[in-house]
């Protein structure tokens, strides 16, 4: 089942006979939600459950999702190997536990990433909790509900009810969350937006142990009001309240907010990454040769790790005169440039594949395999792995160097914004489909990869009409040159 999850696109198109747009939308929805929900899981872990209990709960949900996904294989629902029609496959998929299993896999998968990373992080870093923050136990119960699976067996309903009936989780807060601190600072500043912090510099709040010489900066001045004490009663407010923050907490929140514009680069990164999880796999599945898809994915992973380590060993050590943040910015820029190269290579390979189909007379066959080896995709997957190795790790390293106390949240912000880009790619494909139908009277995203024009999706078409002004200008220059050449 892990192989199916890594190749979910081909599973939906080959086994379920879904068209290209439906399968791509499902894969992008699964990948996007799994990445975007990490920010919610991070807040839940810090505020309620803790890493170890969240890891246990996520393992149970993930295992249940794998079981439901296994029962959604078409052989369990079709009699005598009969396949559904192309237009009825999506309707048939609704009557299987596929959607329930996919939902559990999304929740379980996103809940495993942060605990595993943070537990390994805690092995090398010990965070000392404040003296005034005692252990807090929080009880979280999962409500009992009934899940109806259309036409499915009743024992699955009993299993799901048993799993959702009695979870009683006990969590202990061990350290304050920078994400929660940032939210507290923003809300406290909004509540005191009528104040002017410069008139209350003697009433700034500082925790015990904080330096009295630390001042508020002029950057993001609106947040400075969160550290102003309105009355003497504010000294009795408990730690972690939503109305008063310390000067150090305000400055840390500013550092986190400064990362948002830099992290917005990963929206484009997520859109390119979604192409690798959908259309790239379909290209590999529709080509001849003895190279399976799993080999191409392994090559992509090896390239990602090799490029990441190579950049750190060669380039990062040579940028000694510059700040570390600038080195990470260069890494992100090179990674985004690699994404352009990746799309250009993918477009060239797809054009060659369609040309091979046209020469063989198989262009009208949606399941035909052209006489071209899948080895042509090696450079394409290597470029994708290089992009993930450079841009993917660049923003996480930038986060850690910019705010060392919160560097364990670097992958959270990275995956969240990348997930937003993956979800945005669903609308991008729909817009391209509408544009191609309106402009060129044909659909670039057909029912299969052979009926599509993926080469035009990867790049801008070259047959755009020229601007008349430029044509006239060029003709005038040509005539002037010919007149000068006449003796």
pLDDT at 172: 39
Rg (CA), the chain: 28
Q: Is 353 left (phi over 0), alpha (psi -120 to 50) or beta?
A: alpha
Residue 204 has what DSSP assignment?
B
CA atoms within 13 A on the CB side of 285: 22
Q: Are 113 and 415 in contact (CB under 8 A)?
A: yes
Q: Are 272 and 404 in contact (CB under 8 A)?
A: no
What are the start-end ranges of the E strands in 164-215? 168-172
Bridge partners of residue 204, in order along the sequence = 228
pLDDT at 230: 85
Q: In residues, how long is the chain?
A: 487
Residues 6 or more apart whose CB falls under 8 angstroms from that of 53 comprise 169, 170, 171
Q: Are 271 and 338 in contact (CB under 8 A)?
A: no
Q: Is 102 exposed, middle or buried (0-12, 13-18, 19+ CB in 10 A)?
A: buried
Q: Are 27 and 277 in contact (CB under 8 A)?
A: yes
DSSP string, 158-175: HHHHHHTT--EEEEE--S
Q: What angle do CA 73, 77, 83 make, to 5 degrees?
A: 85
Q: Are 64 and 181 in contact (CB under 8 A)?
A: no
Closest CA relative to residue 457, chosen from 447, 449, 469, 467: 449
pLDDT at 116: 57
User: Looking only at Cα atoms, what is the longest distance across the chain?
Assistant: 99
pLDDT at 71: 81
pLDDT at 475: 41
Question: Could you list the mean pLDDT of each consecutive 10-residue stretch along the chain, which spans 487 residues?
Answer: 79 84 92 86 72 81 88 61 63 82 88 60 45 43 42 49 42 56 88 85 74 75 88 78 86 79 75 91 86 91 92 70 61 88 93 91 84 91 93 72 60 80 91 90 88 86 41 40 46
Residues 6 or more apart whose CB falls under 8 angstroms from that of 7 comprise 281, 293, 294
276 by DSSP, 3-state: which? Answer: helix
Q: Are 300 and 7 in contact (CB under 8 A)?
A: no
Measured between alpha carbons, how far is 400 from 397 in angstroms, rounded to an integer?
5
DSSP string, 444-473: SS-SSSTTS-HHHHHS--S-PPPPHHHHHH
Backbone angles phi, psi at 461, to 5 degrees: -60, 145
Q: What angle do CA 284, 288, 291 make, to 5 degrees?
A: 60
pLDDT at 408: 62
Measured between alpha carbons, how far is 162 from 148 in angstroms, rounded to an integer?
14
Measured between alpha carbons, how far is 197 from 194 in angstroms, rounded to an integer?
10
Backbone angles phi, psi at 138, to 5 degrees: -125, 130
Q: How far is CA 387 from its chain centroid?
A: 14
Q: Please count the other Cβ atoms lying within 10 Å of the Cβ belonging to residue 195.
A: 16
Measured between alpha carbons, how far is 135 from 129 in angstroms, rounded to an integer?
10
pTM for this prediction: 0.71
Measured between alpha carbons, how far is 21 from 473 in angstroms, rounded to an integer?
44
Q: Are 65 and 97 in contact (CB under 8 A)?
A: no
In the block, which residue shows the tokens 């912090």?
197
Crossing angle for the helix pair 324-360 and 265-277, to the nearest 10 degrees: 30
Measured between alpha carbons, how far is 392 from 403 in angstroms, rounded to an integer?
18
What are the start-end ranges of the E strands in 60-130? none
Q: Are 117 and 396 in contact (CB under 8 A)?
A: no
Domain positions in the chain are 1-130+137-172, 178-253
Measured between alpha carbons, how far is 224 from 283 in angstroms, rounded to an integer?
53
Closest CA relative to residue 338, chosen from 312, 295, 378, 307: 307
In the block, which residue shows the tokens 């841009």?
391
């Amino acid at each position: 089942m892990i192989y199916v999850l890594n190749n979910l696109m081909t599973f939906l198109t080959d086994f379920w006979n879904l068209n290209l747009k439906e399968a791509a939308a499902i894969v992008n929805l699964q990948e996007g939600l799994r990445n975007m929900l990490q920010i919610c899981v991070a807040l839940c872990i810090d505020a309620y459950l803790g890493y170890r209990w969240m890891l246990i709960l996520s393992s149970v949900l993930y295992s249940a999702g794998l079981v439901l996904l296994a029962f959604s294989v078409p052989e369990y629902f079709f009699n005598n190997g009969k396949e559904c029609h192309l237009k009825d496959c999506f309707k048939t998929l609704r009557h299987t536990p596929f959607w329930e299993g996919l939902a559990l896999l999304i929740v379980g998968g996103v809940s495993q990433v942060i605990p595993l990373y943070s537990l390994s992080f805690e092995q090398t870093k010990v965070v000392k909790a404040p003296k005034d923050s005692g252990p807090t136990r929080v009880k979280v119960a999962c409500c009992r509900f009934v899940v109806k699976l259309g036409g499915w067996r009743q024992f699955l309903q009993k299993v799901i009810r048993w799993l959702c009936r009695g979870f009683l989780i006990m969590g202990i807060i061990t350290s304050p969350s920078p994400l929660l601190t940032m939210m507290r600072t923003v809300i406290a500043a909004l509540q005191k937006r009528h104040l002017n912090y410069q008139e209350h510099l003697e009433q700034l709040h500082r925790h015990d142990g904080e330096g009295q010489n630390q001042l508020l900066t002029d950057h993001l001045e609106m947040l400075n009001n969160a550290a102003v004490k309105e009355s003497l009663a504010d000294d009795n407010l408990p730690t972690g309240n939503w109305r008063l923050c310390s000067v150090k907490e305000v400055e840390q929140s500013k550092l986190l907010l400064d990362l948002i514009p830099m992290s917005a680069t990963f929206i484009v990164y997520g859109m390119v990454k979604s192409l690798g999880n959908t259309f790239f796999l379909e290209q590999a599945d529709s080509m001849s040769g003895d190279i399976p898809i799993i080999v191409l994915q392994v090559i992509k992973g090896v390239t990602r790790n090799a490029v990441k380590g190579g950049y750190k060993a060669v380039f990062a050590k040579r940028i000694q005169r510059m700040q570390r943040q600038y080195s990470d910015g260069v890494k992100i820029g090179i990674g985004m440039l690699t994404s352009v190269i990746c799309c250009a290579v993918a477009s060239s390979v797809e054009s060659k594949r369609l040309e091979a189909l046209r020469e063989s007379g198989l262009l009208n066959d949606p399941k035909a395999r052209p006489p071209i080896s899948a080895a042509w995709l090696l450079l394409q997957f290597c470029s994708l792995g290089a992009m993930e190795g450079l841009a993917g790790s660049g923003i996480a390293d930038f986060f850690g160097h910019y705010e060392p106390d919160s560097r364990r949240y670097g992958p959270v912000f990275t995956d969240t914004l990348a997930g937003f880009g993956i979800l945005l790619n669903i609308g991008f494909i729909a817009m391209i489909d509408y544009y191609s139908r309106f402009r060129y009277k044909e659909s670039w995203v057909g029912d299969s990869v052979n009926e599509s024009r993926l080469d035009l999706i990867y790049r801008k078409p070259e047959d755009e009409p020229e601007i008349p002004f430029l044509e006239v200008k060029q003709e005038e220059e040509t005539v002037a040159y010919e007149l000068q050449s006449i003796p």
